[in-house]
Amino acid sequence: MNIIVCIKQVPETQEVRLDPVTHTLKREGVKSIINPFDLYALEEGLRVREARGGRVTVLTMGPPQAESALREALTYGADQAVLLSDKAFAGADTWATSLTLARGIAKLGGADLVFCGKQAIDGDTAQVGPEVATFLDIPYVSWARRLEFAADGLLRVERLLDHGYDLLEVDLPALITVVKEINEPRVPSFKAKLKAKSAPIPVYGAADLDLDPATVGLTGSYTQVVKVFPPPARGQRERLSGTPEEMAARLWQRMQAAVQR
C-alpha cells in the first residue's frame, strides 16, 4: 500500500504574532515544529503500513527550512520524505497549496491513502486536506477518529462529530484527515534518527511538477488578505449579585438601556 502523509511546519507558539504590513505570521525567533495534528496522521500512516505493508512517504510544501520537519518525520519511521519548494510557491493560500500538494502526490505516482492532520495550528483553515482530494479527484473523509479495513476492500471510517460520529465507507484511493482521538503517536527511534540525519530528500519545484508559476503561490491564490488583526481584548465585565430575581431585574435594565442607546 502506497501511503502519503502531508505535513506542515508551523511555529511552536500559542501567541502568534502578525506582521502589520504583510499580514503574514512573524516567524523570527519562534521554534518550528511539525503541526501536532500531522503527527497523528503520520502515526496512522505508519500503523496502516505495519498492518498491511507498503511504504510511507511524508510530503510537505514549504521554504527550504521545512526540510527539518521532514527529517523529524523520518525519525518516527517514515520510509522517505519529499519537499515541494520553489520561490513561486511562496504566499500560497489553501487553493494554491492544495494544487501544489496534489501535483506533488501525482509526481510520486499517486497514493492508495493520503493522510493529513485535520487542520494546522497556525492557519486553522482545515481546507487543505479536502482540497487536495478534490484536485486529485479522489474521495475524502475528514475528522477520522478510527479506521478499519473491511473484508470487501472498503475503508470504514468513523468521522468524529460534536455529538457522536458518522460511520462512512470509502473506496481507495482516498484522503483521510485525522483528529487526535485516532491514536497515540509513537516516540522516535534511535536507529531512524541516525538514518534521518543523512537521508536524501528530493526537492521538487514548479517546473518539476509541470505547474505554471502563475497558478501557484501568491499569484495563484484566490484569497486576498485585506486585513489581519487579533480580536480585541474582552471589554469591561460586571458581575451581578443578589437573589435570582434581583439579578434578573438588573440584567433586564441593562438590556433595555443597551437597546435604547
Partner 1 sequence: MDYLLTDEQRMLVELAQQIAEERIKPVRAELDEHEIFPTEIMQDLAQADLFGVIIPEEYGGLGLGTLENCLVLEALATACVGVATTYAASFLGAYPLLLFGSEAQKQKYLPILARGEQLSAFALTESQAGSDASAIQTVAVRDGDHYVLNGTKQWITNAGEAGIYTLVAMTDRSKGARGASAFLVEVGDPGVSFGKKEQKMGIRASTTREIILQDVRLPADRLISKEGMGFIIAMKTLDHSRPGVGALAVGLAQGALTEAVTFARQRHQFGSPIISFQAIQHMLADMATAVEAGRALVYSVARYIDSHPKDFGRQSAMSKLFATDMAMKVTTDAVQILGGHGYMREYPVEKMMRDAKILQIFEGTNQILRNVIGLALNKEFGKKAK
Stretch that binds partner 1, among 108-116, 143-151, 193-201, 237-245 (CB under 8 A): 193-201
Q: Is 195 in the site for partner 1 (CB under 8 A)?
A: no
How many residues bind to partner 1 according to rule CB under 8 A? 9
Interaction of residue 197 with partner 1, rule CB under 8 A: yes
Of the candidate spans 59-67, 95-103, 150-158, 184-192, the one that interacts with partner 1 by CB under 8 A turns out to be 184-192
Residues 6+ apart with CB under 8 A from 212: 206
d(CA 42, CA 188): 12
Q: Which of 23, 52, 87, 186 binds partner 1 (CB under 8 A)?
A: 186
Angstrom distance (rounded) from CA 30 to CA 97? 23
* Contact yes or no for 35/97 (Cβ under 8 A): no
Among 161, 191, 214, 223, interactor with partner 1 by CB under 8 A: 191
Cβ atoms < 10 Å from Cβ of 202? 12
Burial (0-12, 13-18, 19+ Cβ within 10 Å), 234: exposed
Write the CB contacts of 23 (distance below 8 Å, at least 6 apart in sequence).
Answer: 225, 227, 228
193 lines the binding site for partner 1 (CB under 8 A): yes
190 near partner 1, rule: CB under 8 A: yes
Piece in contact with partner 1 (CB under 8 A), picked from 59-67, 112-120, 130-138, 183-191: 183-191
Binding site for partner 1 (CB under 8 A): 186-191, 193-194, 197
